[in-house]
Amino acid sequence: MPLNGERAYELMQSRGVDAIVASSNENVYYVSDYWSIGKQLGCGVEAYALLPLESEPALVAPLKEADLVVDSGSWIGDLRFYGPSNIKLGSPEAPTEQTERLIKIHESTRSEADGATALLKALEEKKLTGSTIALDSSSMPPDLFDLIRSRLPDARIVDGSSLLSEIRLVKTGPEIDCIRRATEITEKSMEDALEIARSEIMEIDLAGMYAYSVAYDGGRVSQNMIGFGKRSAYPNPVPSDLEAARGDLIRMTLGCRLLHYHSNISRTAVIGRAPARVKKVWEAVQNAQDAALGAIRPGGRLSEIHAAAAKELDSAGVSGSPSFGHGLGVECNERPWIEAGGDGELLEGMVLNVDIPYLELGWGGVQLEDTVLVTKDGFELLTNTDRTLYLL
Could you read off the pLDDT of 208-248 as tens digits, one per residue? 999 999 999 999 999 999 999 999 999 999 999 999 999 99
pLDDT at 27: 98
At 20 the pLDDT is 98
Q: What is the per-residue pLDDT for 343?
A: 79
Residue-level pLDDT at 144: 85
Question: Looking at residue 140, what is its pLDDT?
Answer: 85
pLDDT (0 to 100) of residue 157: 93
What 3 state SS string does the chain have? Answer: CCCCHHHHHHHHHHHCCCEEEECCHHHHHHHHCCCCHHHHCCCCCCCEEEEECCCCCEEEEEHHHHHHHHHHCCCCCEEEEECCCCCCCCCCCCCCHHHHHHHHHHHHCCCECCHHHHHHHHHHHCCCCCCEEEECHHHCCHHHHHHHHHHCCCCEEEECHHHHHHHHCCCCHHHHHHHHHHHHHHHHHHHHHHHCCCCCCEHHHHHHHHHHHHHHCCCEEEEEEEEEHHHHHCCCCCCCCCECCCCCEEEEEEEEEECCEECCEEEEEECCCCCHHHHHHHHHHHHHHHHHHHCCCCCCEHHHHHHHHHHHHHHCCCCCCCEEEEECCCCCCEEEEEECCCCCECCCCCEEEEEEEEEECCCEEEEEEEEEEEECCEEEECCCCCCCCEEC
Q: What does the pLDDT read at residue 238? A: 98
pLDDT digits (tens, 9 = 90+) for 253-311: 999 999 999 999 999 999 999 999 999 999 999 999 999 999 999 999 999 999 999 99
Looking at residue 109, its pLDDT comes to 86
User: So what's the pLDDT on residue 307?
Assistant: 95
Residues in the chain with pLDDT < 50?
A: none
Note the pLDDT of residue 154: 94
All structural domains of the chain, each given as residue ranges with its CATH number in brackets, are 5-168 (3.40.350.10), 173-391 (3.90.230.10)
Reported pTM: 0.94
